[in-house]
Amino acid sequence: MINKTITPQELMKNLTKYFIIDVRTKEQFLTDHIEEAINIPLSEIKQNIVNIPKEKLIITYCNGGTSGGIAAKILEEENFNVYNLEGGFSNYKKMPL
């Protein structure tokens, strides 16, 4: 199945509507991240599935989109409604505030 994606512009319209997961390392997350995001590194996604709300729309992201896409695929296989952020955090950071 092909990952569903969301643009940074669409995400910015209503950050609180989504459950946003930053799948980068804890160090990268602490340096900078999307305001409403929580950090669950890709390597820890499977063991943290119980902490992710099924009733919310999930957004995953990494730096460029690859790891976020892998996380989205894992969650999709567990029947989550999940989108990956197009271009990842680097694309998000290019947006004007």
User: Which residues are CB-contacts of 51 (< 8 A; sequence separation ≥ 6)?
Assistant: 40
Query: Starting from the edge strand earliest in sequence, which strands make up the sheet with 18-22, in order?
Result: 5-6, 82-85, 57-61, 18-22, 38-39
58 is known as an active-site residue: no
Q: Say which of 20, 58, 62, 75 is annotated catalytic.
A: 62
Catalytic residue positions, numbered: 62
